[in-house]
Amino acid sequence: MPERELMLRFIRWSAVSLILVLAVVWIGVWTLGSHPQASAPGGVLGSGVQVGGPFKLTDSAGKPVTDADYRGRWMLVYFGYTFCPDVCPTELQAMASGLHLLGPMADKVVPIFVTIDPERDTPQAMGEYVKLFDDRLVGLTGTAQEIADIAREYRVYYAKVESKAASSYLMDHSSFMYLMGPDGRLQMLIKPGSTGQEIANDIRSRLAAS
Ligand code: NI
């Protein structure tokens, strides 16, 4: 092939590549910048990542609930599962302690535990489990699809970890607590391992600022 034709080919290829790269960047910027933030529930992190949103789940009495049922109150949401050997009980204990420390202010907050293991966590199992921590704690489950939907909205990571005993398994999952405002939008992410006192302080400062 003559050198000239090779060169032309290279230039043409470079131009097409550049256009493709620009298109991808443009789509990325457009997508991040165009969330319907004004009306949709959920909150936006600094990076433009949407957290939270509408959900449809089932409470421990077997009744359907949606995010709209909690509008007007704050939601403190944690994702986990009742078979969790360590992290979930620790976090839920801290959540219960935080609610206790808030005193009457806790009436403005609905504490919610959402399972990421709907296969085993029936409404009844959720109801019995959350009562171990605090009577106010709401346990929510759903179909595999409903749980996948809310996990995607809240950016929750979860995955089944098969164990050697065929009859049981563990779930790997992220462990943030989400403080959502009365409008359903994210107010604060509370980091894993926070004490009850830290959780109470975080909630108190947010409620005072609103
Ligand atoms: Ni857990």
Q: What is the pLDDT of residues 24-78, one digit of tens each?
A: 545 454 444 433 333 456 666 656 678 999 999 999 999 999 999 999 999 999 9
Residue at 111: amino acid letter:
P
Torsion of CA 194, 197, 199, 205, to 10 degrees: -130
Q: How far is the CA of 186 from the centre of ligand 1 (A)?
A: 22
Q: How far is the CA of 24 from the centre of ligand 1 (A)?
A: 37
Q: How far is the CA of 171 from the centre of ligand 1 (A)?
A: 7
Q: How far is the CA of 170 from the centre of ligand 1 (A)?
A: 9
Q: How far is the CA of 8 from the centre of ligand 1 (A)?
A: 59
- Look at residue 170 in the predicted model and tell me its pLDDT: 93
Averaged over 187-194, what is the pLDDT?
Answer: 96
Q: How far is the CA of 173 from the centre of ligand 1 (A)?
A: 6
Picking from 55, 41, 64, 80, the residue whose alpha carbon sits closest to that of residue 177 is 80
- Look at residue 210 in the predicted model and tell me its pLDDT: 85
Q: How far is the CA of 194 from the centre of ligand 1 (A)?
A: 15
Averaged over 172-198, what is the pLDDT?
Answer: 96
Averaged over 161-189, what is the pLDDT?
Answer: 91
Q: How far is the CA of 37 from the centre of ligand 1 (A)?
A: 31
Residue 138: CB partners within 8 Å, gap ≥ 6? 59, 60, 110, 111, 112, 113, 130
pTM above 0.85, yes or no: no
Averaged over 171-180, what is the pLDDT?
Answer: 96
Residue 20: CB partners within 8 Å, gap ≥ 6? none
Domains, in order of start, for the chain: 3-209 (3.40.30.10)
Q: How far is the CA of 27 from the centre of ligand 1 (A)?
A: 37
182 pLDDT higher than 80: yes
Residue 193: CB partners within 8 Å, gap ≥ 6? none
Could you give the angle at which helices 87-102 and 196-209 cross, rounded to 10 degrees? 50
Q: How far is the CA of 100 from the centre of ligand 1 (A)?
A: 22
The stretches of 34-182 forming alpha helices (DSSP H) are 87-102, 123-131, 144-153
Written as one string, the DSSP assignment of 155-174 is: T--EEEEE-SSTT-EEEEE-
Residue with the larger pLDDT of the pair 206 and 17: 206
Q: How far is the CA of 51 from the centre of ligand 1 (A)?
A: 20
Residue at 122: amino acid letter:
T
Q: Considering only 63-77, 80-94, 101-115, 153-167, which range has the smallest mean pLDDT? A: 153-167
Picking from 65, 151, 81, 150, the residue whose alpha carbon sits closest to that of residue 119 is 81
Q: How far is the CA of 44 from the centre of ligand 1 (A)?
A: 25
Q: In the numeric block, which tokens belong to residue 195?
A: 């004490």
Q: How far is the CA of 147 from the centre of ligand 1 (A)?
A: 15
